[in-house]
Amino acid sequence: MSGSASVDVLIVSLGSTVGLRTADAQLADSLRRAGASVVLATSKPPQRRLRTLALVDLHWARAARRAALHELARRAPRAIIYSTTTASLLWPRPGAIRFDAPAAGNRPGRHGLWQRPLERRRLMQAPLLIPCSEGGLSEAPQAARRGDRAVVLPIAVESYRASAVADGQARAAPGAEPEPEPEPRDIAAITYAANPHKKGLDRVLSAWRRVRRDSEELVVAGAPAEQLLQAGLVAGGEQGIRVVGTLDVQAYRALVRRARVFVCAPRREDYGSAQLEALADGCLLVTTAAPGPYVALGIARALDPRLVGDDLEGALRAALDDPVAGYALRAREALARFSPDVVDRLVAEELLPRLLA
């Protein structure tokens, strides 16, 4: 590696979803604001559809290894962060591991047959664990959590004020300018269905079809209409349901800011960035409970327990017909610990010193 350029942190980004790519870019920017030089190595997606989660993870693990090797041939990083445990499985060199949930929690049975034992070894070998939540850390093997081996670093959630950047407005310092004018809430409900089965889109659609009134509309984002049509989840020309497909972050958040309710019924939730963003953008959150480190679940219960539970139909109508006063304001207060400023402080004061020690 003689003659390689030095860099403080190399982030090996799996980037298999929009959310992961956004979170990795946020982390890189935060580290740079803390004074570190950062390079992002991005894995390449598969060129064909893979039939099982085990094969999908194998592809992404190989892609992450290739991305890491490519950068390691050119640079000499002082520290490496593998974003997700999958990115670390075939690592060429040990590094810190950032994860929302381990395969031990979200790859049960045959789905994680080879990943779980290898992940356990990697979590033990990593010099530092960077879980996105305490819940995510609790799903890691107990032996890997011994001692002071973890820095819990949440994914930053932009507030309504900050998300005005998506409309071309400059971000102001907190309290420096008045709140931007709210957009009209002309969409009754919105849901995010990048993984339709895991996100429980079938349950959301079933409840919506039963309770929808008049011209109310549910917007479905995150999954192509063709995929949902082929799966039999939606029908062409169906009234009250509009599929908008996969959008860039700005376009998606603009839709969320027009919605009154964000509704979901996940079968498992590893973090729940979409729910946290919806709360930040002023939506009421209607959700079922779900296993996994579902960060927004406790917040939603505290804001309005009527909107959390198996009765999606009743929760939807309660949210649309009888919203609790002050919900959005209390939601934003609850999200203060996820603000970019708080995350930046954690990165500068806790994460970066540990990485470079």
Query: Is 334 found in the same domain as 352?
Result: no
Mean pLDDT within 119-133? 96
Beta-sheet strands, E only, within the chain: 5-13, 38-42, 75-83, 96-99, 129-131, 187-192, 218-221, 241-245, 259-264, 284-287
300 membership: H or E segment, kind and range: helix 295-303
pLDDT reported for residue 4:
65
pLDDT reported for residue 166:
36
Query: Is 319 found in the same domain as 176?
Result: yes
Mean pLDDT within 197-220? 97
Mean pLDDT within 193-197? 93
pTM for the model stands at 0.89
The residue assigned the tokens 């999954």 is 223
Query: Is 349 found in the same domain as 286?
Result: no
Query: Is 171 found in the same domain as 26?
Result: no
Residues 262-277: tens digit of each pLDDT: 999 999 999 999 999 9
Query: Is 184 found in the same domain as 97?
Result: no
Query: Is 305 found in the same domain as 347?
Result: no
Mean pLDDT within 133-146? 91
Mean pLDDT within 97-101? 96
pLDDT reported for residue 51:
83
Query: Is 348 found in the same domain as 254?
Result: no
What CATH number is given to the structural domain containing 54?
Answer: 3.40.50.2000
Alpha helices in 34-180 (DSSP H): 53-72, 85-88, 103-106, 115-125, 134-138, 160-163
The alpha carbon dihedral of 291, 296, 301, 305 has a sign of negative
What are the phi and psi torsion angles at 173 (to 5°)?
-65, 150
pLDDT reported for residue 170:
36
Whether the predicted pLDDT of 178 surpasses 50: no
Query: Is 134 found in the same domain as 212?
Result: no
Report the domain count for the chain. 2
Task: Return the structure tokens found at 134.
Answer: 């305490």
Query: Is 296 found in the same domain as 249?
Result: yes
Whether 82 contacts 95, CB under 8 Å:
yes
Mean pLDDT within 118-131? 96
Residue type, 214: D
Residues 42-87: tens digit of each pLDDT: 999 887 788 888 999 999 999 999 999 999 999 999 999 999 999 9
Query: Is 26 found in the same domain as 16?
Result: yes
Query: Is 264 found in the same domain as 169?
Result: yes
Query: Is 152 found in the same domain as 19?
Result: yes
Whether the predicted pLDDT of 181 surpasses 80: no
Query: Beta-carbon neighbour count of residue 197 at 10 Å?
Result: 12
Report the candidate in 222, 232, 288 with the shortest Cα–Cα distance to residue 256: 222
Q: Which domain holds residue 124?
A: 5-156+339-356
d(CA 343, CA 153): 7
Classify strands 218-221 and 96-99 as parallel, antiparallel or unpaired. unpaired
pLDDT reported for residue 171:
40
Whether the predicted pLDDT of 308 surpasses 60: yes
